[in-house]
Amino acid sequence: MGDPLRLVALCGFTAIEVRLFHGIFRVSATREQHYRAWDEGSDDQAPSLYLVKQGKPQAFDLWQRWSERFGNQGAPILEIGTPESAGWTRLSEHAGREIPSLLKPVSAKRLLDTLDELQPQERESASGALISDDVSLDEINAIDRELNAPGEAKIGRGKRVLVVDDSASLRLQMHITLEKKHGMRTDFAADGAAALRKLELRSFDIVFLDVMLPDMDGFEICRHIRREFGSKVPVVMLTSRNGRRDQLMGVLVQVDDYLVKPVAAGRLEQVLEKHLAG
C-alpha cells in the first residue's frame, strides 16, 4: 500500500468544519490507512488528496492553486456537498473526470471508508493492472502480451458478456482481459440505446454497465433490464464513484455489484468468480 499516512488538503471549509475533519483524522490513527490535514505552509510535501467543499468557488480556486503548485492535478479528490450543490460541475469539468462526493452530514466512518477507496493503486503487471478510461495504447499492448502467457486460470470460459461503456480504451481493455484471459465471448455498446438493442437480440451471462453514458445512465439501463426483459442476469456497475446515493440507486434497480474505476484486475476477477463460477 505504500506510506499509510495520507495528507488531506481541506479546500473552502469553515473553521468549525475544519475542526470536525481534524477530529475525524485523529480517529483514523488506529486504522491501517490514516489521515492528517495538510499544512498549506508546507513547501516540500504535496497533499495526497483534496477534500473540496462542493459548489463553493473559493474551494475550487484553492484546489486549482494548490494542485498547480505541486503539479498533482491528478491526485484523488472528494467533494463534500449538500442537495443544493448536487448540480455543481465546475470541478469535474476542469479536472477532466467524474469527482466522487459525499452529502452532509458526514459521519467519521463514511468519510474514512470513502477516503480509503480513493487510495491510488500502482499499475505493475497484467495480474495487478488497472482497467481505466485513460490507458495508453502502449500499456494496452503490454497487458495484451502478458495475458497471452500460458497457464492462465480461466473464470467463466464460454460465458457471454456485455460491456456498456463510452470509453473505447476501457472497452478494449475489457475485451483483452475477458476474452484472452478468461475465454469469454464479449459484446460491447458505447451508449444505452445500443445496449438495449443488443439485450433484445440475445441473452448474456453478465452485464457491465458504466454509470455515466451519453444518452442515459447505467441505473436506467438496469431498470430496463429488470422490467422489460425480466432478466436475472448479474448487472455490475462500472463507476468512478461509489457513494451512498449511488448505492441506494443500485438497490432500487437491483444492481448486483460495483466496480470502481480504475478497476484493479484482482477485483474484476473477484466479481467474475462471484457471479460466474460453477
In tens, the pLDDT along 7-54 reads: 999 999 999 999 999 999 999 888 888 899 999 887 678 899 999 999
- Average of per-residue pLDDT values in the chain: 82
- Confidence bin at 135 (pLDDT 50/70/90): low
Min mean pLDDT across 101-110, 141-150, 169-178, 228-237 is at 141-150
Amino acid 145: pLDDT: 57
| Predicted local confidence at residue 163, as pLDDT | 95
- Please tell me the predicted confidence (pLDDT) of residue 3: 55
Strand partners, 210: 238
pLDDT for the residue 151: 47
Q: Which residue has the cell 467519521?
A: 108
DSSP string, the chain: ---SEEEEEEES--HHHHHHHHHHHHHGGGSSSEEEEPPTT-SS---SEEEEETT-HHHHHHHHHHHHHHT-TTS-EEEEE-GGGTT--HHHHHHTS---EEESS--HHHHHHHHHHT------SGGG-EE-TT--HHHHHHHHHHHTSTT---SSTT-EEEEE-S-HHHHHHHHIIIIIIT--EEEEESSHHHHHHHHHH---SEEEEESS-SSS-HHHHHHHHHHHS-----EEEEES---HHHHHHHHHHT--EEEESSEEHHHHHHHHHHHH--
Q: Is the pLDDT of residue 175 over 50?
A: yes
Buried b (16+ CB within 10 A) or exposed e, 165-189: bbbebbbbbbbbbbebbbebebbbb
pLDDT at residue 125, as a whole number: 38
pLDDT value at residue 146: 54
Least confident of 60-69, 114-123, 243-252: 243-252
Angle value at C-alpha 101, between 48 and 255, nearest 5 degrees: 120
pLDDT of 148 over the 60 cut: no
Who has greater pLDDT, 171 or 229?
Answer: 171
Q: Quick one: pLDDT band at residue 71, thresholds 50, 70, 90?
A: confident
Task: Answer yes or no: pTM beyond 0.75.
Answer: no
**Domains of the chain (ranges, CATH numbers):** 5-117 (3.40.50.2300), 126-276 (3.40.50.2300)
Q: Which residue has the higher pLDDT, 130 or 64?
A: 64
Q: Which of 30-39, 76-85, 141-150, 236-245 has the lowest mean pLDDT?
A: 141-150
More reliable by pLDDT, 128 or 244: 244
- Give the pLDDT confidence score for residue 181 in this predicted structure: 82
Strands 34-37 and 5-11: parallel
Tell whether the model's pLDDT for residue 127 goes beyond 50: no
pLDDT at 129: 54
- The confidence score (pLDDT) of residue 16 equals 94
